[in-house]
Structure 1
Amino acid sequence: MRTPSRRRPRAALVATAAGTLLAPLLSGCWAGAGGTGSGGDAINVLMVNNPQMTELQKLTAAHFTKETGIKVNFTVLPENDVRDKISQDFANQAGQYDVATLSNYEIPIYARNGWLREMDPYVAKDPSYDERDVLEPMRESLTGNDGKLYGQPFYGESSFLMYRKDVFAAKGLTMPAHPTWQQVADLAAETDGARSGMRGICLRGLPGWGEVMAPLTTVVNTFGGTWFDKDWKARLDSPAFKKATKFYVGLVREHGESGAAQSGFAECLNNMTQGKVAMWYDATSAAGLLEANGSPVKGKLGYAPAPVERTKSSGWLYTWAWGIQQASRNPDKAWKFVSWASGKGYEQLVGRTSGWSDVPAGKRASTYTNAAYRTSAAAFQEMTKEAIESSRPNDPGVQPRPAPGIQFVGIPEFTDLGTKVSQEISSAIAGRQSVDSALKKSQALAERISKEYEGR
């Protein structure tokens, strides 16, 4: 990111971030509750309620606490709620929570506001953690503008194309090793109706900056578009942005799932599992669910890199990571927990106790050389690793960007902007307005951000 030539007052930055870092990227499953009041031999951890996190909660007392004597009080909440609670506690530096789950969207913003504790000194004193084993794009995405490390990944993902090998074989079709979006559109037309009730492709259309805007923004990037140019000029009305959006909306309307405007990750997962679509472009983390024991499509799927047009790669980058609050009363004990939860030993523990398919992967190179994991995730593990390693969070398109991020723009205001734009795009997918109309309204929204950031 370019160094600002002028800055808003810190209080304004705090208020902005606290009020906008609230929207969902993933869906939670269930919530638990923990105690409060860290200090002594206890720390407080606030985290999102996805299955891999709740598995961690179950394993902590019998392993981490038993080994270190450090009690961990967990507060586990759905994503919208946890983001809200984290932003309030960290913005105020209340210190109620020592550690929280943050994504690669929030961590650079929080670091810039002085809300997070730097992790480089801990890494330097803890060689057994093996920071160099963490995949480079993950390290890069959790680094602040000052070049310092402020987070450690719990698991990571990129995006790729999933498709039914058996359907392609029956139709005499071949998936290119590195497909373009036009090739994908042609394949969607060929497989649409290949079986009764089957559509060619599933693409998210559900409103949300982390729903429809995540895959769509990767399409925009590779078509040559960008939300903002290097001088913060809004570019949602540019020819490339329009071409990408019209392509995406047209593809999902012509060959996509029924009810596309209300389909997000969960709905596309169900459609793929139930054999209702021949292809799906989405998160690499979906593959573990599709290949799980009992899945009707286990062994029937092939995987290809995220489709491209003008860039060499186009997959997104996302991680749920651990951040230590600057105001933590127990930062050393907090680091011990973070290093345990993100370390190689924890992956081994999950592999032994729950099975290697449940390992929080996507963050360490050593995971992908582990024979047990490679066997368990043979269908997709290599493609997942390649997708993450080829992601370019600071240079995802064809032009310089003013802020980091592949499927988002790394500024606090993006949660609100991305959500409002997503509503316009979803409306176009539903056929309630044209793409031109949707982008005209969206450009006006983005121009408000341009005025705030011009000259930085």
Structure 2
Amino acid sequence: MKLKTLLLSACSALMFAGLASAETLTIATVNNGDMVRMQKLTDDFKAKNPGIDLQWVTLEENVLRQKVTTDIATKAGQYDVLTIGTYEVPIWSKLGWLASLDKLSADKDYDVNDLLPAIRSGLTTDGKLYAAPFYGESSMVMYRKDLFDKAGLKMPDAPTWDFVADAARKITDKDHEVYGICLRGKAGWGENMAFLTAMSNSFGARWFDEKWKAQFDQPEWKATLDFYVKLMKDAGPPGASSNGFNENLALFQSGKCGMWIDATVAASFVSDPKESKVADKVGFALAPDKGLGKRGNWLWAWNLAIPASSKKAEIAEKFISWATSKEYTSLVAQKEGWLNAPPGTRTSLYANADYQKAASFAKMTLDSINSADPTHPTVKPVPYVGVQFVAIPEFQGIGTAVGQQFSAALAGQISVDQALKAAQQLTEREMKKAGYPK
């Protein structure tokens, strides 16, 4: 009897020890469709890793940025896995805030070499990967093939800005509320300045020279903003200075835009007959250029990363490996269909015949992503990393302030010259205050 009691006590002790050893990962993530889908599929991860529990903190994008930035900057340690953008990775890795994903990089099954070079480059500092991409995008031209046919025009796969502007004016029919082109005008570093910074790269402009001197007083920025404002006045919708991604998406889906240059992720939205009146009429092309060697497309990814202060880095890396692996892509395809596979991160997805069949825009998306280089984003040399942003902490504030000036110019409240002068002054002031050059 004593032996039986001892055995039961031993078994109970082992059971409680097993429960005590189970670890919980707290994951901060954004409330977009792909991330919500991932949460629904985590039973697969739990089955493969029975000793790991997951706790989700799902937040709206702006709230996520604020909470995650505060947490990592103060080393509060509230989160074990962070969802961060391409903007944060190079800044935070250089500040020593992120753990490098060395085990992931060395794992042959994970196959880090399968990551798209342009995306991987933006997440790499000093040769080390500091975040793994869950979802990636560039930008491209989406256009109405029926309107082009009616005007006797043919969209090249790689158009110039001059062609796009000419076509936009020819297909505009304001009497029937059809506008030749829709472009972001709403102020914000991630709204109009994402588009305009990418556009300016193709015009030969840059935010700063090699000595961190602001460049809005240079002719390349003048050419960019003049072109944009005039084009939108001639062929854009009314109230364009208030339009961001969502507003332009609604205009295009309702048949009011002949062309739209924006995120490649929008391709599935404008091609879905359940959401788009023009789904069967949409074509795709690369973002335009000016013949200077750079196209006006950006580069972005939502990524999973580990705070350097984390005490659960090993199991956090296991989760990140699962969520950003080729196997996860196959899991989504099996459960949700190939069209819903997380786009823009892996070469193998774009070599998959089933995905190509489901997504007619796959090749153009891949070409757009591959043509963006965050380490060499401009025609002239620059001291920063980033295509549609400058990867320094001060950029969020400066970028939004400049965006307000450019939005005012689009609305006709100030001239292009006044907007550029104000942009130059405020950027110089803030950069001096921040101690640049460093």
Normalising by the smaller structure, the TM-score range is over 0.9
Amino acid at match of 1:127: K
Q: Hey, what does 2:426 align to over in structure 1?
A: 445
Contact 1:157 1:384 in 2 (8 A): yes
For residue 327 of structure 1, report the CA deviation from its aligned partner: 1.5
RMSD of equivalent CA atoms:
1.5
| Distance in 1 (alpha carbons) for counterparts of 2:156 and 2:100 | 43
Whole-Å separation in 2 of the counterparts to 1:299 and 1:195 = 24
* 1:98 shift after superposition: 0.6
Task: Work out the CA distance in 1 between the residues paired with 2:91 and 2:294.
Answer: 28
Contact 1:292–1:357 (Cα < 8 Å) also in 2: no
Could you give the per-residue CA deviations for residues 123-166 of structure 1, whole angstroms, max 9, x where no partner exists?
Answer: 21x2110100000111110012x322100000100111110011
Aligned with 1:89 (options 52, 63, 71): 71
- Tell me if 1:275 matches 2:266: no
In structure 2, how many angstroms separate the alpha carbons of the residues matched to 1:427 and 1:271?
A: 21
Partner of 1:298: 279
Q: Determine whether 1:417 maps to 2:398.
A: yes
- The gaps in structure 2 that reach 5 residues or longer are 1-19
Tell me which structure has the larger Cα radius of gyration. Answer: 2
2:80 touches 2:316 (CA, 8 Å); kept in 1?
yes
Separation (CA, whole Å) in 2 of partners of 1:268 and 1:92: 38
Query: What TM-score does the superposition give when structure 2 sets the normalisation length?
Result: 0.92
Aligned counterpart for 2:330 among listed residues 325, 348, 359: 348
Q: Tell me what 2:303 maps to.
A: 321
Supply the AA of the counterpart residue of 1:251: L
Superposition deviation, residue 455 in structure 1 = 4.1
SS at match of 1:185: helix
1:182 aligns with 2:182: no
CA distance in 2, matches of 1:433, 1:340: 51
Matched, 1:259 2:232: no
Q: Is contact 2:201-2:294 (8 Å) kept?
A: no
Which residue of 2 is the match for residue 200 of structure 1?
180
CA shift at 1:39, angstroms? 8.3
Matches of 2:393 and 2:83 in 1, distance apart?
Answer: 17
Which of 386, 389, 393 matches 2:374?
Answer: 393
1:4 aligned residue? none
Q: CA deviation at 1:250?
A: 1.5
Question: Are 2:105 and 1:129 aligned?
Answer: no
444-453 or 211-220, which moves further after superposition? Answer: 444-453
Decide whether the 8 Å contact of 1:271 with 1:277 is kept in 2. Answer: yes
Deviation per CA, 1:57-92: give whole Å up to 9, x if none: 1111x2111221221101000011000000011111
The 3 A distance-change label for structure 1 pair 194 and 129 is same
Alignment-derived partner of residue 12 in structure 2? none
For residues 270-304 of structure 1, give each alpha carbon's deviation from its aligned partner in whole angstroms, at most 9, with x where no partner exists: 11100001000011111011112423222311111
Task: State the alpha-carbon separation in 2 of the partners of residues 164 and 227 from structure 1.
Answer: 33
Report how far residue 311 of structure 1 moved. 2.3
TM-score for the superposition, normalised by structure 1 = 0.89
Q: Which residue of 2 aligns with 1:11?
A: none
Moved more, 209-218 or 62-71: 62-71
Give the match for residue 370 of structure 1: 352
**2:90 matches 1:108:** yes
- Offset at 1:195? 7.7
Among 106, 122, 140, the residue aligned to 1:160: 140
Tell me the equivalent position of 1:71: 53
Q: Which residue of 2 aligns with 1:358?
A: 340
Unaligned runs of 5+ in 1: 1-37
CA drift of 1:184 comes to: 0.6
> Per-residue CA shift, 1:11-43, capped at 9, x if unaligned?
xxxxxxxxxxxxxxxxxxxxxxxxxxx984210
Indicate the percent of aligned positions where both proteins have the same amino acid.
45
